[in-house]
Amino acid sequence: MPPKPFWLALGFAGVLACCGLSIVIGVRVVSGADLLAGLSGSVENISQAAIAKRIPRTIMAALGGAALGLSGAVMQAITRNPLADPGILGVNAGAAFAVTLGIAWFGMALSVTYVAVAILGAALAAAFVYVVGSAGPGGATPLKLALAGTATSVALASLMNAVILGRNDIANSVQYWMVGGVGGVTMDRVGLVAPFLALGFVLGAWTAPRLNSLALGDELAAGVGENVALTRAVSALGAVILAGATTAICGPIGFVGLAVPHMCRLIIGVDHRWLLPLSAFGGAILLLAADVLGRVLVRPAELEVGIVTALVGVPIFIIIVRRQRVRDL
Partner 1 sequence: MAEGLFAGYDGRQVLHGVDLTVETGAVTAIIGANACGKSTLLKTMARLIMPQAGRVLLDGESIHTRSTRSVARVLGLLPQSPLAPEGITVADLVARGRRPHQGFLSRQSVRDDAAVATALEATGTLDLAERSVDALSGGQRQRVWIAMALAQETELLLLDEPTTFLDVAHQIEVLDLLMDMNASRGITVVMVLHDLNLAARYADRLVAMKAGHIYAEGPPGAVFTAPMLQAVFGLRCEVIIDPTSGRPMMLPKGRHRMSERAG
The DSSP line for 63-107 is: HHHHHHHHHHHHHHHHHT-TT--TTTTTHHHHHHHHHHHHHHHH-
- Judged by beta carbon, residue 158 or residue 227, the one nearer partner 1 is 227
Burial annotation 14-26 (CB, 10 A radius, 16+ → b, else e): bbeebbebbbebb
Residue 159 touching partner 1 (CB under 8 A):
no
Residue 4 touching partner 1 (CB under 8 A):
no
Distance separating alpha carbons of residues 264 and 275, to the nearest angstrom: 6
- Judged by beta carbon, residue 159 or residue 216, the one nearer partner 1 is 216
- Judged by beta carbon, residue 127 or residue 222, the one nearer partner 1 is 222
The DSSP output letter for 225 is T
Residue 325 touching partner 1 (CB under 8 A):
yes
Part of the chain binding partner 1 (CB under 8 A), chosen from 111-119, 187-195, 262-270, 279-287: 262-270
Burial of 34 (0-12, 13-18, 19+ CB in 10 A): buried
Residue 302 touching partner 1 (CB under 8 A):
no
Interface residue with partner 1, options 131, 270, 297, 298 (CB under 8 A): 270
- Least distance in Å: CB of 102 to partner 1? 37
- Judged by beta carbon, residue 198 or residue 270, the one nearer partner 1 is 270
Residue 80 touching partner 1 (CB under 8 A):
yes
Residue 299 touching partner 1 (CB under 8 A):
no
- Judged by beta carbon, residue 322 or residue 325, the one nearer partner 1 is 325
Closest CA to 67 of 287, 308, 272: 287
- Least distance in Å: CB of 275 to partner 1? 10
- Least distance in Å: CB of 145 to partner 1? 17
Interface residue with partner 1, options 213, 235, 247, 309 (CB under 8 A): 213
- Least distance in Å: CB of 224 to partner 1? 4
Distances 213 to 19, 143, 162 between C-alpha atoms, Å: 35, 24, 44
Distance separating alpha carbons of residues 54 and 25, to the nearest angstrom: 9
- Judged by beta carbon, residue 107 or residue 225, the one nearer partner 1 is 225
| C-beta neighbour count of 131 within 10 angstroms | 11
Could you tell me which residues come within 8 angstroms of residue 234 by beta carbon, excluding any fewer than 6 positions away?
203, 206, 207
Footprint on this chain of partner 1 (rule: CB under 8 A): 80, 209, 212-213, 215-217, 219-220, 222-227, 265, 269-271, 273, 325, 328-329
